[in-house]
Amino acid sequence: MYDRDYLMRLINQTSAVLARLLGLKEQKKPDEALEAIDEFLSKELRMRSRLALGLSDSDLLAMLSVGGVPNPEMIGTVAVFLQEEGYLLFETGRLDESLMRYEKALRLMMHVLRENGPIDGLRLEERADELAAKLAPYEVAPATRKAAWEWSERAGKYADAENMLYELYEINAVTPEEGGAFYDRLEALDDALLEKGGLPRAELRDGKRQWSKLAGEALPGEELSGEEEEREREKAE
């Protein structure tokens, strides 16, 4: 079991390596920067990025667990360096390798933020925003799209999150219950926050009504006619 002193040292060492990477980037030494990342992960976490990419998310979280519980500091650290590797590979024209790291990093960051919240020193929220923007132009895995959806909601981009919800629905990557819970969470917010997020309450209610119809769950006091059911089935197809 890792104690707090080790985890604090891990974060401090991560910050030191990130500062070193910045210098190597400025000196146009991407290969040395990649070697520095590999060396650090191997020494501190007995992990290399190739291994992290080769494991499923659940297996990687199990490997980065303490006492059977995924450790947020270790997961966040791996995510940060996968992101940094992605930047370096993108700059050298290795797009596919870069995108693989961006996707994995975003999913890991969203796990940490969802289950534990931010970690001092890692800037996970800021980094997740950067990753979501980097990945936006590309076709990514459903699990990554779902992580981006979670991030949009967390970042207060409610209109974007609603649009992404329906995109996830189209590829069967979200359940009716998850969509319903999304609308329930937003309904509990103040009007000012909804307005700021681009989804005024009236539009939110319209969206929830539409979602309930798509999910085949009429809201209280509302029943779908046979004609409406047919229209919604045609939309879904």
**Residue 115 has what pLDDT?**
92
pLDDT at 105: 97
- Write down the domain spans for the chain: 1-136, 156-237
> 3-34, pLDDT tens digit by residue?
788 889 999 999 999 999 999 999 999 999 99
What pLDDT digit, counting tens, does each position of 137-164 carry? 999 999 999 999 999 999 999 999 999 9
Q: How far apart are CA 180 and CA 214, in angstroms?
A: 11
Q: Which residues contact 106 (CB under 8 A, 6 or more apart)?
A: 79, 128, 131, 132, 135, 144, 147, 148, 151
Confidence of residue 234 (pLDDT cuts 50, 70, 90): low
- Please say if the pLDDT value at position 230 is more than 60: no
**Residue 2: pLDDT band with limits 50, 70, 90:** low
Coil, helix or strand at residue 159: helix
Higher pLDDT: 123 or 1? It is 123
Q: What is the mean pLDDT of the chain?
A: 90
- Beta-carbon contacts of 164 under 8 Å, excluding residues fewer than 6 positions away, are 145, 148, 149, 152
Dig out the tokens for 31 from the structure: 């290969």
Helix (H) or strand (E) holding 70: strand 69-70
Cα separation, 36 vs 15, in Å, equals: 13
pLDDT for residue 220 is more than 50: no
Q: What is the pLDDT of residue 187?
A: 97
pTM reported for the whole predicted model = 0.84
- Rounded mean pLDDT, 158-173: 95
Which tens digit of pLDDT belongs to each residue from 101-151?
999 999 999 999 999 999 999 999 999 999 999 999 999 999 999 999 999
